[in-house]
Amino acid sequence: MNKLVADQADGLRRLLAPTQARVLAVAGMGRGAGGTTAAMNFAVALVGQGRNVLLLDEHCRAEGSACEVWDIDPLGGLVDVAAGRLTLDGAEVRMACGVHVLPAPPAAARGTSQGAADPRRFWHDGVVVIDAAFDGEGRLSPLAQCADDLLLVLQPHPASVTSAYAGIKRLHHAHGLKQMRFLLNGVVDVQAARQIMNNLAHAGSRYLALSLQAAGWVRFDPLVCDAWRLKKTIAEAFPASHAAVDFRRAAGEMDQWPWPEAAPLQAVA
């Protein structure tokens, strides 16, 4: 009965929401964790499921960013669209896979009234995926703070898990977050991955009073590097590969994520 009531309440929130666009911030917990890889493949997978997807690239111009991997140079960015200098159609690049890409480097928005521009103002349905970048103190940008969901990406190795947990604590204290999701990337041993997910979820609940929910895992796949050389995601270049299948599965489960009961992620003083 409790689950039925919860499902009905979530359905009501969806109906009453001012927009049906869902904003997902994806962040890699450490160099090489695969945050950009996950953000791009999630975006491609969601398009494959019939979603209208905008990818906001906070790492734009940096090596390994979505714009660099896809080898694109959009005419403008989120700040230009938010300020009315360019239309979304005039600023973005629409990839052959169907993902719309728009640069959103935090430095470009710093000190402007568009510093925390909400993409829901111009993206009214579908999904906005933010390839999120942390600042020097491990905090989210104002843009990423407006997301409905935060997905953290980490590798299934002791050093990566330890570093990720420290980062999770920083995020929890900096932004007052009560819930985060995480994805294990580069998994070789699925059973070990399950244990890591259980341990992280338990630690978050016991020591931080934080809901840390696993969003699944993506198996290690050498074809990721081959896809990168082709300037594509693995979901585009090798759709039958293990990693592509795992990304599609994880993205498909977004429909089962409850919508936030309160306002989207917000910074606290």
Q: What is the pLDDT of residues 46-62, one digit of tens each?
A: 999 999 999 999 999 89
Is pLDDT of 42 > 50? yes
What gap in Å lies between CA 95 and CA 97, rounded to an integer? 5
As given in the structure block, the two tokens for residue 133 are: 């970048």
Is pLDDT of 262 > 90? no
CA dihedral 213, 218, 219, 225 (to 10 degrees): -140
- Give this prediction's pTM: 0.89
Do residues 97 and 47 lie in contact, with contact meaning Cβ atoms separated by under 8 Å?
yes
Q: How many residues does the chain have?
A: 269
pLDDT band at 2 (very low <50, low <70, confident <90, very high): very low
pLDDT recorded at residue 66: 98
Domain ranges in the chain? 23-107+115-256
pLDDT recorded at residue 197: 96
pLDDT band at 259 (very low <50, low <70, confident <90, very high): confident
What is the residue whose two structure tokens read 């940096």?
Answer: 62
CATH, domain 23-107+115-256, list 3.30.2020.30, 3.40.50.300, 3.30.450.40, 3.30.70.100: 3.40.50.300
As given in the structure block, the two tokens for residue 236 are: 């585009």
What gap in Å lies between CA 104 and CA 109, rounded to an integer? 8
